[in-house]
């Protein structure tokens, strides 16, 4: 609710208009019964036809006002709710742009997507109901109660007696339905999950002949979901008849009391008719109000999920220190230790090395040795737990984060491309790159040939999810993207893995020609990819197990030798 108010504040004027327009609606819905009752009491009794016709005209007049009010109401509702949804989406999106990897992983990309889109949509739907109903109901109820009381104080007492009952009822329903609704939502998530697992694992499931096991797993959740839904729907659909019955009992009471009053001559019949009509409308608005309560739990869950994102503090912040002077090109790790925010054990322990202008430094090691983590510390995807990472002699935490990242061309393990043309994707690295620069980068990255084979060449559109380029092509495009940037530091995080050996070799040959005084950092699985590096760093369980050239390491690092031996033939090992 707080979330909604926060955003509603931005649209005060529209909201006032919204409230105002509700009165137009109330005027007609309640005005008509009043006029009709007058017609009966005055027109019929006095047999005054001109009066009747005049009143008929009045009905048309207030109808126009009422309809104008309702249209205005519709306009305000639509404007406010769509604007609020837009603002929420925008804020969430902006927030996400400031988050660092640890927060991203904590919430999860899939969840962030639903939070930005679906949850905001839920809020919009809820806003719509609130602006229409929640504003309308109090107005309708209070106006009709005033009218009711004006008609007959005595009769209105009967209605007043039912009001607390209904309010209590609404609160109870809200209280009961909220946890059921949350459970139902959770169960739906599980159904979703299992079904997605079924889809993604289709070959594995079939090869294990585990169809019935999957059906069983699915059915457990399916039954659970059914039970929750049944509860929820039964609760929801029984509230209406019960509330109606309560109101109806009041109606009977009113007729009873009214007949005594008429017997005494204390109440004109026309008034009774009007009274019943007000009653009818008041009842209707109370029922509409129930809808708000029914939608509230779901909207509340969404609001909580959105708040969670908005309230997340980015773990990595930009606090550049004035006066930190950059020296010549270098990347230095000074006794770096790193523990993942939710981890227990250190992924990196006391890692130190230096890379200078023009050097290529490679990292190799077993799965889980921390090599990918290590290079993620340079563009500040994460901050070190202790020790220092220095770029050009300045601690990265004291540099302007954007200036730091401008120095880096990073090619990740899993290359992501964006929808747009191939040229757009390469220009992602440098917006103002000329056509020649783009083509050159593509050539160096061994991407030129396959790009030219596409029907539209560089103007070929990359589909959403980049389904129309293969894994290897994606990697080459993302390398071209880094090249066009002409950064000071290149980081290749296992980015040759999807290339066959031939392309890999040719690409490395071309890259070597391109480099002058840049620093190149490579993480790789293949010894062949890194053999020529100026320095190879062997990592094992987060610690440096060896440092040196290929030849030096073959001689004095057992782990490196084992890795090399598993990949190279004996002649090749001996040849070295």
Partner 1 sequence: MNRKVSWKVCIKGVLAFAKPYRTKFFVAFFMVILSTAIYTMNPTVEGMVTTQLADDAAKIMEGIPGAHVDFQRVFLILTLLITCFIVRALALLISAFFLTNAIQHMMHDIRGALQKKIQKLPVRFFDDHAFGDVLSCVTNDVDTLSNALQQTLTKVITGVLTFILVIIMMFRINWIMTLLALVIIPLTALITKLFVGRSQKLFDRQQTTVGELNGTITELYGGFNEIIVYNKQEDTIQKFEDVNRRMRDSAFQAQFVSSLISPCVSFITYVTIGASAVVGCILVIQGTIKIGDLQAFIRYIWQINDPLSQVSQLSAQVQSAFAALGRIFTMLNEEEEDQGGEKHVAKDRMKGTVTFDHVQFGYGKDLLMKDVNMDVKSGQMVAIVGPTGAGKSTLMNLLLRFYDVKGGSIKVDGVDIRDMPREELRSMFSLVLQDTWLFKGSIYENIRYGRLDARKDEVIGAAKMANVHHFIRTLSHGYDSLINEEANNISQGEKQLLTIARAILKDPQILILDEATSSVDTRLEKMLQEAMQRVMEGRTSFVIAHRLSTIRDADLILVLKDGDIVEQGTHEELLEKKGMYEKLYHSQFAGQNFDEMD
**Closest distance between partner 1 and the C-beta of residue 174, in Å?**
18
For partner 1, the closer CB: 160 or 255 = 255
301 forms part of the interface with partner 1 (CB under 8 A): no
For partner 1, the closer CB: 326 or 335 = 326
Cα separation, 520 vs 361, whole angstroms: 6
**Closest distance between partner 1 and the C-beta of residue 211, in Å?**
5
Q: Residues 137 to 176: which contact partner 1 by CB under 8 A?
A: none
Cα separation, 395 vs 240, whole angstroms: 66
For partner 1, the closer CB: 221 or 300 = 221
Please, where are the H alpha helices in 380-470? 401-406, 422-427, 435-444, 448-453
Q: Residues 88 to 117: which contact partner 1 by CB under 8 A?
A: 89-90, 93-94, 96-98, 101, 104-105, 108-110, 112-113, 116-117
514 forms part of the interface with partner 1 (CB under 8 A): no
DSSP assignment string, 86-141: HHHHHHHHHHHHH--HHHHHHH-HHHHHHIIIIIHHHHHHHHHHIIIIIHHHHHHH
SS3 473: helix
For partner 1, the closer CB: 141 or 417 = 417
Q: How far is CA 252 from CA 163, 240, 242, 262, 281, in A?
A: 16, 18, 15, 15, 16
Q: Residues 379 to 438: which contact partner 1 by CB under 8 A?
A: 379, 381, 402, 405-406, 408, 410, 412, 416-419, 428-429, 431
How many H-runs (helices) and E-runs (strands) does the chain carry?
A: 23, 12
Cα separation, 44 vs 439, whole angstroms: 91
- Which of 14, 17, 27, 83 lies at the binding interface for partner 1 (CB under 8 A)? 83
Q: For residue 460, count other CB atoms closer than 10 A to its CB.
A: 17
Q: Residues 542 to 561: which contact partner 1 by CB under 8 A?
A: 559
Contact map string, positions 318 to 357, toward partner 1, x by CB under 8 A? --------------------------x-------------
**Closest distance between partner 1 and the C-beta of residue 151, in Å?**
15
515 forms part of the interface with partner 1 (CB under 8 A): no
Looking at the chain, how many residues does it have?
576
Contact map string, positions 210 to 239, toward partner 1, x by CB under 8 A? xx-xxx--xx--xx-xx--xx--xx--xx-
Q: How far is CA 294 from CA 7, 162, 369, in A?
A: 22, 21, 52
Cα separation, 418 vs 463, whole angstroms: 8
472 forms part of the interface with partner 1 (CB under 8 A): yes
**Closest distance between partner 1 and the C-beta of residue 399, in Å?**
13
Contact map string, positions 261 to 290, toward partner 1, x by CB under 8 A? -xx-x--xx--xx--xx--x----------
Residue 176, CA atoms < 13 Å, CB-side half-sphere: 13
**Closest distance between partner 1 and the C-beta of residue 334, in Å?**
22
Cα separation, 255 vs 262, whole angstroms: 10
- Which of 202, 324, 452, 515 lies at the binding interface for partner 1 (CB under 8 A)? 202
């Amino acid at each position: 609710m707080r979330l909604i108010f926060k955003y509603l504040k931005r649209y005060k004027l529209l909201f006032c208009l919204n409230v105002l327009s509700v009165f137009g609606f109330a005027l007609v819905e309640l005005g008509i019964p009043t006029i009709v009752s007058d017609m009966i009491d005055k027109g019929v009794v006095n047999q005054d036809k001109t009066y009747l016709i005049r009143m008929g005209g009045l009905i048309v007049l207030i109808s126009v006002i009422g309809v104008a009010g309702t249209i205005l109401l519709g306009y305000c509702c639509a404007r406010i709710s769509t604007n609020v949804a837009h603002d929420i989406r925008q804020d969430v999106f902006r927030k996400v742009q400031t988050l660092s990897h640890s927060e991203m992983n904590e919430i999860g990309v899939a969840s962030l997507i639903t939070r930005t889109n679906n949850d905001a949509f839920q809020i919009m739907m809820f806003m719509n109901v609130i602006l229409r109903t929640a504003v309308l109901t109090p107005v309708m109820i209070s106006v009709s109660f005033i009218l009711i009381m004006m008609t007959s104080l005595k009769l209105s007492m009967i209605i007043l007696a039912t009001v607390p009952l209904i309010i209590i009822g609404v609160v109870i329903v809200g209280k009961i339905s909220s946890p059921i609704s949350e459970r139902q939502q959770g169960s739906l998530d599980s159904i979703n999950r299992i079904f997605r697992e079924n889809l993604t694992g289709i070959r594995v499931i079939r090869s294990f002949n585990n169809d019935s096991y999957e059906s069983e797993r699915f059915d457990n959740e399916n039954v659970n979901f059914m039970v929750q839904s049944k509860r929820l729907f039964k609760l929801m659909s029984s509230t209406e008849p019960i509330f109606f019955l309560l109101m109806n009992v009041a109606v009977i009471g009113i007729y009873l009391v009214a007949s005594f009053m008429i017997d005494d001559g204390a109440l004109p019949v026309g008034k009774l008719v009007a009274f019943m009509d007000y009653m009818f409308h008041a009842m209707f608005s109370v029922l509409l109000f129930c809808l708000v309560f029914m939608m509230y739990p779901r909207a509340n869950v969404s609001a909580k999920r959105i708040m969670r994102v908005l309230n997340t503090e980015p773990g990595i912040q930009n606090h550049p220190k004035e006066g930190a002077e950059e020296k010549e090109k270098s990347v230095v790790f000074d006794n770096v230790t790193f523990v993942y925010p939710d981890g227990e054990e250190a992924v990196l322990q006391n890692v130190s090395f230096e890379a200078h202008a023009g050097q290529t430094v490679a990292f190799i090691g077993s799965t889980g040795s921390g090599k990918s983590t290590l290079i993620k510390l340079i563009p500040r995807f994460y901050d070190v737990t202790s020790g220092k990472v220095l770029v050009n002699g300045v601690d990265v935490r004291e540099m302007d984060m954007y200036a730091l990242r401008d120095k880096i061309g990073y090619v990740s393990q899993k290359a992501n491309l964006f929808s747009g043309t191939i040229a757009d994707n390469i220009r992602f690295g440098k917006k103002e790159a000329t056509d020649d620069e783009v083509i050159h980068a593509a050539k160096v990255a061994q991407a030129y040939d396959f790009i030219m084979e596409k029907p539209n060449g560089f103007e070929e559109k990359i589909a959403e999810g980049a389904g129309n380029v293969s894994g290897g092509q994606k990697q080459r495009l993302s390398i071209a993207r880094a090249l066009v940037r002409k950064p000071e530091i290149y980081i290749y995080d296992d980015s040759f893995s999807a290339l066959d050996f031939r392309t890999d070799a040719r690409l490395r040959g071309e890259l070597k020609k391109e480099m002058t005084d840049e620093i190149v950092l490579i993480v790789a699985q293949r010894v062949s990819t890194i053999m020529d590096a100026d320095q190879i760093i062997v990592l094992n369980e987060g610690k440096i197990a060896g440092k040196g050239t290929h030849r030096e390491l073959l001689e004095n690092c057992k782990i490196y030798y084992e890795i090399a031996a598993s990949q190279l033939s004996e002649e090749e090992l001996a040849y070295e």
